[in-house]
Amino acid sequence: MKVTIYHNPRCSKSRQTLELLQSRGIEPVIIEYLNTPPDKTTLKKILRLLKLTPRDLMRKNEDVYKKAKLDDETLSNDKLIAAMLKHPVLIERPIVLANGKAAIGRPPENVLEIL
C-alpha cells in the first residue's frame, strides 16, 4: 500500500501523524508541501478525496489569509485554489493519501480510517 503524507516538520500534528504511521510499520512518501507544493490538478484531487471546498482546507489564522482578504465570500474556488498554490502555508496539514482516499491528521488518528 502506497501512503503519502503532505507534511510540515515544524507542525506538531504533522509530526505526530507521521510517527503514528511509522509506528504501524508504514513508511509513507513524505512531501514537505511548503517546499514542494502540490500542483493545481493534485490539489483539486485532494479536495475531491477529502470532500472539502478550498475554503474548508484553508488555514484561516495565517497572516497571508488576512492580508490577501481571502475571507471574502465572493471569491471563487479557483481564486482560493490559486491562493493556496501561491501560498502553500494556507493548506491545512497534515494530509494523508492512501487506498484512493484522503484524511487530515487533526487529530492524527483520523488517518487510520483510510488505511
pLDDT (tens digit, 9 = 90+) per residue, 53-89?
A: 999 999 999 999 999 999 999 999 999 999 999 999 9
**Domain span including residue 74:** 38-91
Q: Residue 113's pLDDT band (boundaries 50, 70, 90)?
A: very high
Residues 87 and 115 in one domain: no
- The reported pTM is 0.95
- Residue 67: strand, helix, or coil: helix
CATH number at 50 reads 3.40.30.10
Pair (13, 43) in one structural domain: no
Q: What is the pLDDT of residue 28?
A: 98
CA dist 98 and 17 (Å) reads 14
Same-domain status, 42 and 86: yes
Q: Does 64 share its domain with 49?
A: yes
* Amino acid 49: pLDDT: 98
Residue 60 shares a structural domain with residue 81: yes
* Shared-domain flag, residues 48 and 84: yes
Catalytic positions: 11
For the chain, the domain total comes to: 2
Segment 9-39, tens digit of pLDDT: 999 999 999 999 999 999 999 999 999 999 9
